[in-house]
């Protein structure tokens, strides 16, 4: 089948390429990995900003400093390993499978490295003492601010003296405001900010000191104060998170050169440009375009405070960061598992094809007739089931020809040298130069026999 000769051949060519199970499996694995990369590039800055409470500019800088160098180092490292070990298609698929499995295990660390959600008055913690609020019971209006006429579409968080973040000063019930020497607004006489104590449990018999916010007493006749901005979180896991993110990204990128090698060696040489085009179509159709859509929809389910404008949802002001962490990395881990499954099927399909060819050769060819069928197809075309080296071809020994002082037969094959890939499409016969005219050798030299070419050996894979 010709590729690129006629536009009418494109559907047939596409069906032929997609019917190659090795190519299909490696493309689906590459698609799953690319979807994870797309989700990281798109949402990791927002995740870091929400999870660790840092500015958006700093989150973007952290993302660029971690993901870009780690991906570059991983790609270079993967290519160096393939070149150093001279890996073929089967070994490259195994390398990609190992990298995918290790990075899947490393994903477990990203689930446990994070922070807790902030305590937001009226959202996930009540204005007075009581249990944590559920989604159906969330209400920004309470008895302490019901008569204040507060606007619930203006999000200006303040941190109360009780360690709770309030939607804005009005909903905190604050009655007066003043600026300090640094220009920070201080609010006082806040009716909703009540005297609550933050206690530290005794560290005796425990391996760590964890701050726990415990509402032990509420004084209804005492008002607290608040300062502009959200309350600080007691969370110091940003550096460990960035380290684990660097490792996961590096290992994931290390498998990309292997995927490209397997893609190129899974199809015939004349099919490779079209195969790469088909693979890029799959990447854009299944990874680059839809990934931000469904990742964004899943992440929005963890929002606990939406912007409201005329009854219409706007952007999310606050996420439940614990749920966000599990949902975000849970979906990414699911894609990683699919990628691991498909690359395993890729490796198994290559292994199955190679073993089937070896069984056919053992049944139909003698040892001296064994040719580089796993590397080069008959007819001068390089095949899709390559191995690490081309087998050595040994010429036949004809007992009728004397071993000493006899001219070389025209049909004798030279002893090939094993290389990583076949330098030629076939092993050509060596024809010795004719003897000089009038010499004795010219009179007794037999007629040259037709050269034996690998084209005459047909192997059905």
Return d(Cα 269, Cα 379) in angstroms, integer: 13
Residue 105 clears pLDDT 60, i.e. is over it: yes
Phi-psi domain of 310 (left: phi exceeds 0; alpha: psi -120 through 50; beta: other): left
Q: Answer for the pair 227, 184: CB distance below 8 angstroms, yes or no.
A: yes
3-class DSSP assignment, residue 189: strand
Residue 428 clears pLDDT 60, i.e. is over it: no
Tens of pLDDT along 222-239?
A: 677 888 888 887 788 899
Nearest C-alpha neighbor of 328 from the set 51, 7, 5, 11: 51
Greatest mean pLDDT among 3-17, 166-180, 317-331? 317-331
Return d(Cα 95, Cα 36) in angstroms, integer: 19
Residue 146 clears pLDDT 90, i.e. is over it: no
pLDDT score at 300: 92
Using pLDDT thresholds of 50, 70 and 90, give the confidence band for residue 364.
Answer: confident
pLDDT score at 366: 59
Nearest C-alpha neighbor of 392 from the set 409, 358, 369, 363: 369
Greatest mean pLDDT among 43-52, 182-191, 374-383, 391-400? 43-52
Nearest C-alpha neighbor of 71 from the set 61, 82, 81, 63: 63
Return d(Cα 319, Cα 117) in angstroms, integer: 8
Return d(Cα 347, Cα 300) in angstroms, integer: 37
pLDDT score at 421: 43
Tens of pLDDT along 298-312?
A: 999 998 888 877 767
Residue 289 clears pLDDT 50, i.e. is over it: yes
Nearest C-alpha neighbor of 411 from the set 392, 393, 429, 434: 429
Domain residue ranges in the chain: 7-116+236-352, 119-232, 371-461
Using pLDDT thresholds of 50, 70 and 90, give the confidence band for residue 79.
Answer: very high
Residues 6+ apart with CB under 8 A from 91: 85, 388
Return d(Cα 277, Cα 289) in angstroms, integer: 16
Return d(Cα 146, Cα 333) in angstroms, integer: 45
Consecutive H or E run containing 224:
strand 224-228
Return d(Cα 191, Cα 65) in angstroms, integer: 45
The DSSP annotation for 309-365 comes to ETTEEEEEEEE-HHHHHHHHHHHHHHHHHHHHHHHHHHHHHHHHHHHHHHHHHHHH-
Return d(Cα 394, Cα 24) in angstroms, integer: 37
Residue 435 clears pLDDT 90, i.e. is over it: no
Residue 61 clears pLDDT 90, i.e. is over it: yes
Residues 6+ apart with CB under 8 A from 398: 409
Question: For the structural domain made of 7-116+236-352, what CATH number should be given?
Answer: 1.20.1250.20
Residue 383 clears pLDDT 50, i.e. is over it: no
Q: Which has the higher per-residue pLDDT, 39 or 125? A: 39
Consecutive H or E run containing 185:
strand 185-190
pLDDT score at 139: 72
Q: Answer for the pair 258, 95: CB distance below 8 angstroms, yes or no.
A: yes
Q: Which residues of 23-37 are buried (b: 16+ CB within 10 A; e: fewer)?
A: bbbbbbbbbbbbbbb
The DSSP annotation for 110-171 comes to HHHS--PPP-BBTTTB-SSSSSPP-GGG--S--TTTTTS---TT----EEETTS-EESSTTT
Return d(Cα 63, Cα 325) in angstroms, integer: 16
3-class DSSP assignment, residue 190: strand
Q: Answer for the pair 425, 380: CB distance below 8 angstroms, yes or no.
A: yes
How high is the mean pLDDT of the chain?
75
Dig out the tokens for 417 from the structure: 């040298």
Residue 451 clears pLDDT 70, i.e. is over it: no
Q: Answer for the pair 319, 303: CB distance below 8 angstroms, yes or no.
A: yes
Q: Answer for the pair 257, 108: CB distance below 8 angstroms, yes or no.
A: no
pLDDT score at 71: 93
């Amino acid at each position: 089948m010709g590729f690129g000769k006629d536009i009418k051949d494109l559907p047939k060519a596409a069906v032929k390429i997609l019917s190659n199970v090795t190519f299909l499996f490696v493309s689906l694995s590459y698609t799953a990995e690319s979807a994870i990369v797309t989700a990281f590039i798109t949402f990791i800055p927002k995740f870091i900003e929400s999870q660790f409470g840092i500015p958006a500019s700093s989150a973007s800088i952290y993302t660029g400093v971690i993901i870009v160098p780690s991906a570059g180092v991983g790609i270079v490292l993967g290519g160096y390993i393939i070149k150093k070990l001279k890996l073929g298609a089967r070994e490259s698929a195994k390398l990609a499978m190992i990298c995918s499995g290790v990075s899947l295990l490393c994903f477990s660390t990203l689930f446990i490295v994070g922070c807790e959600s902030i305590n937001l008055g009226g959202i996930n913690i009540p204005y007075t003492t009581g249990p944590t609020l559920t989604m159906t019971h969330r209400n920004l209006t309470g008895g302490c601010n019901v008569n204040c006429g507060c606007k619930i579409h203006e999000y200006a968080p303040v941190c109360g003296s009780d360690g709770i973040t309030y939607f804005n000063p009005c909903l905190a019930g604050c009655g007066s405001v003043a600026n300090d020497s640094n220009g920070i607004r201080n609010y006082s006489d806040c009716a909703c900010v009540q005297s609550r104590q933050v206690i530290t449990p005794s560290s005796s018999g425990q391996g760590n000191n964890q701050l726990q916010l415990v509402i032990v007493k509420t004084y209804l006749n005492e008002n607290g104060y608040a300062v502009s901005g959200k309350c600080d979180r007691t969370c110091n896991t940003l550096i460990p998170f960035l380290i684990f993110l660097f490792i996961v990204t590096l290992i994931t990128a290390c498998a990309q050169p292997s995927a490209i090698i397997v893609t190129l060696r899974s199809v015939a040489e004349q099919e490779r440009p079209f195969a790469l085009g088909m693979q890029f179509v799959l990447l854009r159709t299944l990874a680059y375009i839809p990934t931000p859509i469904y990742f964004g929809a899943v992440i929005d389910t963890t929002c606990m405070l939406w912007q409201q404008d005329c009854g219409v949802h706007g952007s999310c002001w606050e996420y439940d960061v614990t749920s966000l962490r599990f949902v975000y990395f849970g979906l990414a881990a699911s894609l990683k598992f699919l990628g691991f499954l498909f690359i395993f099927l890729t490796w198994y399909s290559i292994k199955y094809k190679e073993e089937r060819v070896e069984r056919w050769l053992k049944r139909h060819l003698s040892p001296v007739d064994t040719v580089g069928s796993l590397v080069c197809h008959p007819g001068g075309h390089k095949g899709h089931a390559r191995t690490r080296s081309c087998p050595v071809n040994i010429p036949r020994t004809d007992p009728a020809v004397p071993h000493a002082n006899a001219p070389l037969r025209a049909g004798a094959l030279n002893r090939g040298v094993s290389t990583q890939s076949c330098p030629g499409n076939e092993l050509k016969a060596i024809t010795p130069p004719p003897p000089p005219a009038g010499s004795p050798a010219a009179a007794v030299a037999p007629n040259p026999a037709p050269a034996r070419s690998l084209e005459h050996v047909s192997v059905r894979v």
